[in-house]
A and B are shown apart, each in its own frame.
Chain A
């Protein structure tokens, strides 16, 4: 039978996995709701990114947030980023890596376009003052495709949480 200390360590590991999953869920939620102040809470100060196979390599929270803000600023551009299949691996008690499969479906009402992306995220996390943060993040795309919404004549946008907002972020 496991002693209490060992049991405690095993429970701690599962709690850490759960906390890292929640961190990534918050990251995606903040992206999709354009809650950028909250999104910044997900990162360490020295966060590094390697988005789109390294095309967007950025260093430091200021540069990363500026990049995200530029990408998500327009309220005519919205959609979902979904993270699936977390493979969380610990490199120490306060450091971990994660692989996620992402699906993004984005609508651009100004350009009358849709976009679909499948990709794999590779992340590094660190625990700072008891809280997990993203230390590095990036993704490689399986594919990216886009098309004009006008190609589907019956397509009708029935709901849009940003419909009443016009000024960019």
Chain B
């Protein structure tokens, strides 16, 4: 019973992480991590230590010209102790890069470690390995039109 509530809380943590990532809410996103969090994004290509370093990387990499949609599916949460847990997630991401006029579509598996601090679950370690990532030029679809975006005026 207690396990179910913990698993639900960890899922919510990850959902908040994805939401803050896509809404570019960097302060709220920072709260998802422990201070000494470690990342190994894209198979270790983007390996960082410490919350501030990680947040710097994410805020820079996902500037307002990047419109991202990250979806996490299929959580496999394992409680490894009273205050520790691991999680595997299937990621699907769709990212529009307005500067380079490209669309990225990718899939990956996240492997996370969580820790409960003062009653709240945080991400202690996170990283993913790509299953695939493909990029195409938006110019290949001549009629493609961006009608709305959260972070500024659409093109045209």
Q: Which residues from chain A sit less than 8 Å from chain B, CB to CB?
A: 2, 7, 10-11, 13-14, 17, 52, 84-87, 99, 101, 103, 116, 118, 120, 140-148, 150-152
Determine whether the beta carbon of B15 is less than 8 Å from that of A86. yes
Determine whether the beta carbon of A85 is less than 8 Å from that of B145. no
For chain B, the count of residues having a C-beta within 8 Å of the partner chain is 31
B117 at the interface (CB under 8 A from A): no
Determine whether the beta carbon of B8 is less than 8 Å from that of A84. no
- For B56-80 the 0/1 string (1 means CB < 8 A from A) is 0000000000011101110000000
Determine whether the beta carbon of B22 is less than 8 Å from that of A142. yes
For residue A41, give the distance in angstroms from its CB to the closest CB of chain B. Answer: 26
> CB-nearest residue of chain A relative to B73?
A84
Complex alpha-carbon distance, A81 and B93, angstroms: 16
23 interchain pairs (CB within 8 A)?
A14-B4, A14-B5, A17-B8, A84-B15, A85-B19, A85-B72, A87-B15, A87-B19, A101-B15, A142-B23, A142-B67, A142-B69, A142-B149, A143-B69, A143-B96, A143-B146, A144-B146, A145-B144, A146-B145, A147-B141, A151-B141, A151-B142, A152-B141
**Assuming A103-B71, A116-B94, what are 16 further A-B pairs, CB within 8 angstroms?**
A2-B1, A14-B8, A17-B8, A84-B73, A85-B19, A87-B16, A101-B22, A141-B150, A142-B150, A143-B67, A143-B69, A144-B148, A145-B96, A145-B145, A151-B140, A152-B141
Determine whether the beta carbon of A120 is less than 8 Å from that of B144. no
Q: Chain A contact residues: over half helix, strand or loop, or mixed?
A: strand
B118 at the interface (CB under 8 A from A): no
Determine whether the beta carbon of A10 is less than 8 Å from that of B18. no
- Contact with A84, one of B12, B72, B96 (Cβ below 8 angstroms): B72
Determine whether the beta carbon of B144 is less than 8 Å from that of A87. no
Q: Chain B contact residues: over half helix, strand or loop, or mixed?
A: mixed
For residue A149, give the distance in angstroms from its CB to the closest CB of chain B. Answer: 9
**List of B residues within 8 angstroms of A11 by Cβ:** 1
> CB-nearest residue of chain B relative to A145?
B146
> CB-nearest residue of chain B relative to A86?
B15
- Contact with A10, one of B5, B72, B96 (Cβ below 8 angstroms): B5
Determine whether the beta carbon of B22 is less than 8 Å from that of A118. yes
**List of A residues within 8 angstroms of B4 by Cβ:** 14
